[in-house]
Amino acid sequence: MPAPEIGLAVVDPRRLPALSALPVLRAGDIAEFLGDDAALETLPADAAASHLYFGSEFCEHLFPDEAALERAIELSGKLGLSLVLATPAANDALVAKIGQAAAILPEGAEILVNDWGVARFLRRAYPRLPLVAGRQLAKMIKDPRVPSAAWLKPYPGSYGTPGHRRLLERLGIGRIELDVPPFATPDLYSVDGIDLSVCLPYAYVAKGRICKIGSLRRELPEKFAPGRSCHRECLGVVEVGAAASSAGLVSSARGNSTFYRHDAAMAALVRDMVAQGRVTRLVFSGV
């Protein structure tokens, strides 16, 4: 099969040092880093990673500060990886921070955007930076509980229309990233004229700004309100699902996002899409 690019996504800056002793980042190293041999079983252990993703696609409070970003820049340079700065939906204050971060990104870095406004801002302010449209912009039903493919039919993936492709061109977006939802079919990954990444081995459904665990250390009146800072409690605690859905998927949650591991059919679809050359980058992450 054609060799895809390989990315490792890291959200928690405290995990970066675990990679710093490596001379290069190979698939086997990613499996060890994630503590998940099965996630990369389809790749040769010596396949080399090409990209380091850093930051959160789902939460405004996990956007890295300058020091953490500088460590990620240094690490990606040392490992010979292209850095991809992940960004979530943003208010005006975060858009400004994203702009400051964009200004220090090295040549070859990309920004993963999950907000059309952020994309427009970056295209105008930093036209040199390649943009990747993230999973939050790829509208589709990813509910782990759907009992059959029929539930997905009314709202198919959003990138199937010419209008979306024109929008991506207008914003200078050359790559899109997709999840693998239950009952996904190859047509979801038939997007002409644009590079395609798939995130694995988990699919995510983000709730939004209200975060239960992010309110853990807040006093009662200020809990569960938008825009309040948190102590990033989600980096240390996960809600592990106790039961499978009718589709056989066990959904867990971290912070404001629900996630579930791909089943055998979903993993097989990814392999097929890579083999056919439709998916050209695989982005691996832990829970």
Site for other proteins in 123-182 (CB under 8 A): 136, 139-143, 145-147, 151, 153-158, 160-164, 166-167, 181
- Which one, 19 or 73, has the nearer CB to other proteins? 19
Q: How far is the CB of 85 from other proteins (least distance, A)?
A: 17
Binding pattern for the stretch 46-75 against other proteins, x by CB under 8 A and - elsewhere? ------------x-----------------
Is residue 212 a contact point for other proteins (CB under 8 A)?
yes
Considering only the stretches 20-28, 104-112, 217-225, 269-277, report the one whose residues sit in contact with other proteins under the rule CB under 8 A: 217-225
Residue where the block lists tokens 């409070």: 61
Cβ(13)–Cβ(62) below 8 Å: no
Task: Looking at residues 3 to 32 of the shown chain, list those that interact with other proteins (rule: CB under 8 A).
Answer: 12
**Residue from 47, 68, 194, 235 in contact with other proteins (CB under 8 A):** 235
d(CA 142, CA 161): 19
**Residue from 18, 237, 265, 268 in contact with other proteins (CB under 8 A):** 237
Hey, which residues does 281 pair with through a beta bridge?
A: 5, 197
Binding pattern for the stretch 83-112 against other proteins, x by CB under 8 A and - elsewhere? ------xxxx-xx-----------------
- Which one, 53 or 121, has the nearer CB to other proteins? 121
Cβ(33)–Cβ(23) below 8 Å: no
Is residue 240 a contact point for other proteins (CB under 8 A)?
yes
**Residue from 106, 108, 186, 208 in contact with other proteins (CB under 8 A):** 208
Buried b (16+ CB within 10 A) or exposed e, 236-273: eeeeebeeebebebebbbbbbbbbbbbbeebbebbeeb
Return the DSSP state at 144. Answer: T
**Which of helix, strand or coil describes residue 189?**
helix
d(CA 215, CA 202): 25
Is residue 285 a contact point for other proteins (CB under 8 A)?
no
Q: How far is the CB of 77 from other proteins (least distance, A)?
A: 27
**Residue from 53, 54, 121, 260 in contact with other proteins (CB under 8 A):** 121
> How many residues sit close enough to other proteins to count as binding (CB under 8 A)?
74
How many C-beta atoms lie closer than 10 Å to residue 90's C-beta? 19
CA distances from 5 to 8, 27, 145 (A): 10, 11, 31
Cβ(53)–Cβ(8) below 8 Å: yes
- Which one, 64 or 181, has the nearer CB to other proteins? 181
Q: How far is the CB of 152 from other proteins (least distance, A)?
A: 9
**Which of helix, strand or coil describes residue 261?**
strand
Considering only the stretches 41-49, 70-78, 190-198, 242-250, report the one whose residues sit in contact with other proteins under the rule CB under 8 A: 242-250
Is residue 192 a contact point for other proteins (CB under 8 A)?
no
- Which one, 142 or 262, has the nearer CB to other proteins? 142
d(CA 17, CA 2): 31
d(CA 18, CA 50): 17
